[in-house]
Amino acid sequence: MRRGRFQFQIYSDLVLHVVPGFKDNYFYLLENTETHEAAVIDPGEAAAILELITSKNLELTHMILTHHHADHVGGVEQLHHKWPGAMLVCSPWFKAKQSWNEFSLTRMVPAQQFYLWKHTMRVLDVRGHTIDHIALSLSEKKSSPPSDVFVGDSLFGAGCGGLFEGSHSQMLEALKTLRKLPENIRIWCAHEYTLKNLRVAIMLQENNSAQKERLQRLEKFIEKEQVEPHDWVTIPLNMKEERATNPFLRWDEPSLQKAIDTHDDLTTFTHVRTFRDRF
């Protein structure tokens, strides 16, 4: 679908609003349709989020931040000013701006779970892109498997976040954590990079037919609709498809290791990351 605001019914009482921002970012707003409360994930800018919350007459109760980059937190101050009671959830290592001195942050350690109204969110350690990065998985009930995961800049369609602060081995651990999630989980990432990532992935010459088909399918849409690659929405990503086609989740695949001429997982991952960084 073409880039634009859209909504997705997650559970009977929970709607996810996807709000495009900047050139290729996605911001997320979860709406509790029973209590008329809202939770925002990575509000990179406030205007569109403010407009959505007020037009629906919602009360913002949570702001959840995956990491400290400006395009993920730029709207926090304005939203905090309007809803000072909203809980600000971030990682233990989160680097808050100086101007946030008086804000009370709820620092959640990995594996910690918290209630999002009737549902449960769980914190995942995905440090690598930055050294304060977390992802959040969402389950309908505390005991049920996660249906959705908000990954920020740790994982993208056919890609992963660049290493601004962390090491290759740290990022590989982060991706191992994500790859363990259920195959049918919906993945909500923070940027639309899928087409470019796939084009670069193909150049690794793994000879991966699922990857080739995914690229062809996507290129067909882009050509037909005549849109820029980042203007074609590919979320939610699907873990099964990512495992099959995302070279950053295939560090231990013999076919990819063969193309790179190694038997080592970290060497494979490092090669793929370094290769992607050239484009």
Binding site for Zn ion (CB under 5 A): 69, 153
What's the min distance (Å) between Cβ of 69 and Zn ion?
3
What's the min distance (Å) between Cβ of 129 and Zn ion?
6
Residue nearest to Zn ion (CB): 69
What's the min distance (Å) between Cβ of 105 and Zn ion?
18
Comparing CB distances to Zn ion, the nearer of 11 and 93 is 93
To 5 degrees, how large is the angle CA 117–CA 121–CA 123?
150
Q: Read off the tokens for 152.
A: 């920020």
Comparing CB distances to Zn ion, the nearer of 146 and 152 is 152
What's the min distance (Å) between Cβ of 130 and Zn ion?
6
Q: What contacts 226, CB < 8 A, 6 or more positions away?
A: none
What's the min distance (Å) between Cβ of 20 and Zn ion?
16
Comparing CB distances to Zn ion, the nearer of 153 and 192 is 153
Comparing CB distances to Zn ion, the nearer of 132 and 140 is 132
Helix H, strand E, coil C: the string for 100-165 is HCCCCEEECCCCCEEEECCEEEEEEECCCCCCCCEEEEEECCCCCCCCEEEEECCEECCEECCCCC
Q: Read off the tokens for 36.
A: 């008329």
Residue type at position 87? M
- The DSSP-derived string for 162-195 is --SSS-HHHHHHHHHHHHTS-TT-EEEESB--HH
Strands 148-152 and 186-189: parallel
What's the min distance (Å) between Cβ of 172 and Zn ion?
18
Comparing CB distances to Zn ion, the nearer of 69 and 250 is 69
> Which of 262, 44, 247 lies closest to 153, judged by CA?
44
Comparing CB distances to Zn ion, the nearer of 69 and 127 is 69
